[in-house]
Amino acid sequence: MHRTLNVLIAIVGIYFFFLILIYVFQRQLTYLPSPAVSTPEQAGVPEMEIVELHTADGLTLNAWYRSPTRPFKPTIVFFHGNAGHIGNRGLIARPFLDTGYGFLLVTYRGYSGNPGSPSEEGLYNDGRAAIKFLEQKNTPLSCIVLYGNSIGTAVAVQLATEYPVAALVLQSSLTSLTDVARYHYRIFTFETLVKDKFASIDKVANLDLPIFLLHGEDDRIIPPKLSRRIYEKIKEPKQLLIVPSRGHNTLFEPEAVIQFIQEHVKCQQSDS
């Protein structure tokens, strides 16, 4: 009996030890920024220029931008996932640039040589700086499409609650970071431990704009059931595309995204 009690105490102690570790180091687990500094030329998008975004909390961030090259094409603002650097996303911009769309490729604080450290509110501030940049370029909100990937979907959703943009594209969407944590670490209870919740599921029901969700059927990082939950919550017009034999890092469907934008976004003014 005494030995059993000692074993139980040891198990409980280990459990709480891991909870403390996860709480203390969760941002290091959540955000995996690469400090690598790349150029548009190196990333295969030489026509994009390096621009500065100025955040409300005083940071100056580098981003890559190209205005639309065809009349009445909207500008896509792309928010990438939690790992890597901006140069990893050049190929994502390529099909949209080739078809005349404007493209603003945002990379966050702490990523790609940018100052600061990432956090939920920090990423939202970075997104707001991107919108401000486009407004200074005289880009109407009705000509802006927000495109988020992975944790970037939460940034896109938050901005869509604040700005009446034209459409929203959510690739490998999460309902909340808490749900993703539960998926990967099922023995732990995270509700009160997660600092950066990114709770998109609590925001999407009130959105009133076209939303396109796409997800890889074989995604083992963010399961497709989370995109399905988002889809159930949002209003029409909406579309959900689950792509067979695609995982989290192998999903890329620019033709489907372009078709959705063409069907639902009527940009009445070309960018200058």
Residue tagged active-site, from 176, 227, 248, 271:
248
Clarify whether 219 is annotated catalytic: yes
Q: Which residue blocks in the chain are alpha helix, DSSP H?
A: 2-30, 90-98, 120-136, 151-162, 177-184, 224-233, 254-264
For residue 173, give the nearest of 105, 87, 77, 81 by alpha carbon.
81
Q: What is the DSSP pairing of strand 75-79 with strand 60-66?
A: unpaired
Q: Quick check: helix, strand or coil at residue 77?
A: strand
| Whole-angstrom distance, CA of residue 50 vs CA of residue 232 | 38
Q: Quick check: helix, strand or coil at residue 53?
A: strand
| Whole-angstrom distance, CA of residue 105 vs CA of residue 110 | 15
Within its chain, how far is the Cα of 246 from the centroid? Answer: 18
Residue tagged active-site, from 38, 80, 112, 150:
150
Clarify whether 80 is annotated catalytic: no
Residue tagged active-site, from 200, 219, 227, 271:
219
Q: What is the DSSP pairing of strand 238-243 with strand 211-216?
A: parallel
Clarify whether 57 is annotated catalytic: no
Q: Which residue blocks in 63-221 are alpha helix, DSSP H?
A: 90-98, 120-136, 151-162, 177-184
| Whole-angstrom distance, CA of residue 235 vs CA of residue 233 | 7
Place of tokens 């539960």: 182
| CB neighbour list of residue 216: distance below 8 Å, 6 or more residues apart | 172, 224, 242, 243, 246, 247, 248, 250, 251
Catalytic residues, by residue number, are 150, 219, 248
